[in-house]
């Protein structure tokens, strides 16, 4: 039987409902990795249901970490700082986060590991983690142009101060993870503020980490202890529902237990500035992460414009914002988002091509898109 992978979507006239989302992908990756190298058993509820975090768990198993999963609850039996040399390649699937962040941990392990990925991951740039990890003492070989597969020969690391040339939370995380295994204090300075889940997760697992502006510092040789946590709902997944709600004046949507980390929540400010009614209740802090209940109400949608640090902070939500841009009154311009071209797919080209198929006028730049407002789309 051939599998029918098509889905038919008919136009909606309104949008209303309440939902709760699976756990945030970024946090699930980090808690799983840190749980694997912590002492004790970590219990993680509402773990991401996505394939990427399953790839992280699978890699951990190949590295000797035992875990059980029952639906969205994952129980991880930490190995302490010593993982086991893998008997086979670590398959990161489609997950750049798995490959880049795990590289930081593997750089500090006294064995050789090979990391492979699917066709899309095999095209993604890894030099951004290879260069700084090599400066700390790891030996890493990669495919052509610094792309996967990677072979990491880890061992004794020395701390460095790394001035990151690109804003990437994955690179920052790889460096801080490697810093846990290095002699001395590893410092990482980022050009722009990126998501800080790694810093918060390291603290939650008992590590001391210092932040001073855009610099984070971690001392090597600290040991981690297991945690129990419920992972907040994924804000990047919520983006699709929030953008849909923003399209319909009068729409009502409630999203409970949603991640509200300020380094991730810019979407709410941007949608509110464009006209969406946004209110947050029941704000709480869990392991340093803010979690809250979000209520939104659709109103007339103005335009929006994004550039600089804001584009970097919203990198995963830009495709959803671009998809609703034709329906704004004043249009949308997005610049400084060149990184979107080296995600799982070239998301600038993909959004432009699909909007054009639906009849929209779209101008494509090397680093973004300009989409006029007041356009009507048709099915395609
Ligand atoms: C992520 C960081 C971002 C983001 C990705 C998840 C993370 O990537 O696009 O989906 O969890 O740290 P970069 O570090 O490449 O910017």
Looking at the CA of residue 168, tell me the nearest atom of ligand 1.
14
Nearest CA to 52 among 80, 77, 32? Answer: 32
The whole-number pLDDT of residue 4 equals 76
Q: Of all residues in the chain, what percent carry a pLDDT higher than 70? A: 99
Residue 316: active-site member: yes
The catalytic position among 316, 330, 336, 367 is 316
The answer to whether residue 296 scores a pLDDT higher than 90 is yes
The whole-number pLDDT of residue 104 equals 98
pLDDT confidence bin for 3, thresholds 50/70/90: low
Segment 158-209, tens digit of pLDDT: 999 999 999 999 999 999 999 999 999 999 999 999 999 999 999 999 999 9
The whole-number pLDDT of residue 280 equals 97
Q: Distance between CA atoms of 55 and 7, rounded to whole angstroms?
A: 26
For the record, the structure tokens of 354 come out as 């699909």
The binding-site residues of ligand 1, defined as CB within 6 angstroms of any ligand atom, are 26, 97, 168-170, 173, 195, 315-316, 339
Segment 103-117, tens digit of pLDDT: 999 999 999 999 999
Tell me which residue has tokens 């951004």. Answer: 128
The answer to whether residue 2 scores a pLDDT higher than 60 is no
| Apex 40 CA angle, 36 and 46, nearest 5 | 65
Say if CB 180 and CB 218 are below 8 A apart: yes
User: pTM of this prediction?
Assistant: 0.97
């Amino acid at each position: 039987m051939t599998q029918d992978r098509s889905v038919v979507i008919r136009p909606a006239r309104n949008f209303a409902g309440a939902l709760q989302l699976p756990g945030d992908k970024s946090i699930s990756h980090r808690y799983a990795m840190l749980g694997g190298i912590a002492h004790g058993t970590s219990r993680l509820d509402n773990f991401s249901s996505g394939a990427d975090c399953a790839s992280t768990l699978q890699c951990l198993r190949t590295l000797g970490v035992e875990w059980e999963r029952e639906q969205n609850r994952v129980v991880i039996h930490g190995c302490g700082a010593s993982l086991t040399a893998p008997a086979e390649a670590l398959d990161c699937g489609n997950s750049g986060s798995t490959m880049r962040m795990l590289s930081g941990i593997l750089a500090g392990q006294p064995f050789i590991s090979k990391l492979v990925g699917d066709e899309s991951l095999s095209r993604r740039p890894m030099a951004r983690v290879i260069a700084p990890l090599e400066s700390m003492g790891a030996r890493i070989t990669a495919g052509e142009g610094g792309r996967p597969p990677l072979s990491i020969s880890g061992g004794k690391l020395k701390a460095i101060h790394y001035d990151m040339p690109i804003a990437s939370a994955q690179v920052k995380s790889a460096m801080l993870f490697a810093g846990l295994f290095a002699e001395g204090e590893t410092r990482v300075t980022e050009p722009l503020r990126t998501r800080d889940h790694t810093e918060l997760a390291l603290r939650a697992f008992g590590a001391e980490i210092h932040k001073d502006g855009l610099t984070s510092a971690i001392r090597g040789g600290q040991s981690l202890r297991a945690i129990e946590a419920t992972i907040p709902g994924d804000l990047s997944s919520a983006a699709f529902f929030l953008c849909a709600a923003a399209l319909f004046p009068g729409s009502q949507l409630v999203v409970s237990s949603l991640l509200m980390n300020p380094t991730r929540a810019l979407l709410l400010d941007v949608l509110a500035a464009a006209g969406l009614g946004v209110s947050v209740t029941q704000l709480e802090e869990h392991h340093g992460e803010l979690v809250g209940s979000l209520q939104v109400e659709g109103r007339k949608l103005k335009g929006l414009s994004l550039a600089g640090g804001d584009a970097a902070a919203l990198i995963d939500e830009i495709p959803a914002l671009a998809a609703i841009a034709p329906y704004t009154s004043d249009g949308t311009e997005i610049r400084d988002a060149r990184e979107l071209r080296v995600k799982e797919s070239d998301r600038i080209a993909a959004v432009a091509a699909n909007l054009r198929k639906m009849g929209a006028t779209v101008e494509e730049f090397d680093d973004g898109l300009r989409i006029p407002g007041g356009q009507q789309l048709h099915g395609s």
